[in-house]
Structure 1
Amino acid sequence: MNATDARPLAAIDIGGTKIAAAVVGDDGTLLARTQRPTPSTADGETVLRAVLDALEELAEAPAWAGVRGLGVGSAGPVDTGRGTVSPVNIGGWRHFPLVERLSGHPAATDLPVVLAGDGIAIAAAEHRFGAARPYDNVLCMVVSTGVGGGLILGGALHTGTTGNAGHIGHITVDLDGEPCPCGSRGCLELFASGTAIARYALRSGWQPSTEDRSAVAVAASARAGDPVALAAYDRAARALAAGIAATATLVELDAVVIGGGVAQVGDLLLDPLRGHLTTYAALPFAAGIKVHRALLGTDAGLVGAAAVAAHRLGG
């Protein structure tokens, strides 16, 4: 999105909790936006209908008239070559031909559709507009219903062959851990996602003060000094530190940027994460990783989907 072609792009961000869609300007500004819940336990066609509803609503906005392409950031894994998605937290989509189905919809007629994983999208957004701008080697993470990530290496977005490079949520951090829906065991996502934080707190005896049993409610209890809630966030931070340190050992990182809904708790998560990194990132070349909260908040996925599309389409 630069002087080569400054027309806006449409973007869709698909996660396990919400589906958001926007028209994104050349400077990363959202010119129009809509959102609805993800029917994550429904069949694939029902999930697609929610995505198309968001797309159709967005297409009615005045800003849509100048749109030159559609960027889609989805929870992963994805396969950007085939245009398919298989999000771990959306059971109805397995090798689902999302690009084909979107391209065939009247609202997207004649629009090129560019697919990216949600972690790749947030990496593109934060490196272009946010907290990752000063760094050439940085891991950007989505910590939400799931845990994803994307890498900037040597100043460039590193996507891998299928578009899944940096998918840190499925690094194993516990060899004897619980089975993960991805098919592995002891994955980082089982410790650090919002769902995992709430589940651990409840299993450990946390008593919510309201009907809300989400990670947000756990965070409120933690801020009030509840030791079980504090332990749930410390456990998540420790798992994140282990995964980040493993990544830094492989590719040498300058920094990590944390975004997504869980990261909105700020220092409740980031302070213990910084502390645990001093233990797990022990080798000299992996030590000293800077930890930043994403600057673009929960809209980073939308801005990033547009940024990836701009990169692929030119401009």
Structure 2
Amino acid sequence: MVDDEDDDTPAASTPPSAKALHELTLLAGQHPGPERTAAAWRLVTSAAGNPDAHAVLDFAREAELVLPCDHTDSTAPNLTWTNPLDGSEMVWVPPGKFVYGTNNQTAACAGFSLGRFPVTNEQFARFVAETGYVPDLDHPDNESFLSHWQGGAPAKAQLRHPVTHLSLFDALAYARWAGATLPTEWLWEKAARGTDGRTYPWGESSPTAKLAQVAQGATCAVGKFSRVRSPYGCEDLVGNVSEWCLPEPAGAEVGAFPADHYPAYPYPAADIPVQTVVRGACFLRHSAKTARSSHRRRLSVARRNRWVGFRLAVLLPVRPA
């Protein structure tokens, strides 16, 4: 028997993040290294939805297990960092105002980080291998899940292509594993348009095959258009694949962070579609209008097809140490 006074397991009545704080305390006493970095980041991001998440964030900052993202020097290069859980390169989007919509309205939001690229086949294959992920048997479109893979694996030539044939549910499962979430459509648009309200992520020039993967027959490897970036440094926001965005409750303020990073939705019945917004023109698009950063399209959350992928968002003002 173990005496109660020797048992350091948090009691059921303790705050939700007590266990995370205990484990962070242990990590703070360890030597820095990749394993400590990944473990600390998983604890911090996993606690993000707790009502006492601020306590975890404050402790992690004080123990230098995470570092702040904010910088006030407007001439500094865009801050980037690597997610230690899945290898995604993340770009910091500072807080402030942004232009959105076809009427160029203005809103504001807090700072967040967005993936430089959409999640790739290679990354999703690692997720499946490490977690054994399979879709729920009740999902209405399971025959389309990763249907472009052969023998349960992506083709070698497509490892760096954006992963597709995924529903919103599949994208959220990956995001949770990676300690992230998906952007709302307004966060996506801020990352694409910045503060000057540009029409396309790169400026005002109409999309061509030199600027984005549009009017093509298939996806391409991420990074192909590395000289064509959004104001903050994101790539492939237009072209390659359209991207799932996190559904927002009715009446949500433009630019507000979602209350739930992993909203649960019932699988839609055939006669009652449940939809969310996808953003960004895909490789099939050739119209300058549909390639605009303000363009939005609604899609059933259960759909899996070859032209929709996703990228990660981290809604915290910190990065791994």
TM-score in terms of structure 1 length: 0.29
Tell me which of the two structures has the higher relative contact order, counting C-alpha pairs closer than 8 angstroms and 6 or more residues apart. Answer: 2
Higher-helix-fraction structure: 1
Based on CA coordinates, which of the two structures has the bigger radius of gyration?
2
Question: TM-score normalized by structure 2?
Answer: 0.28
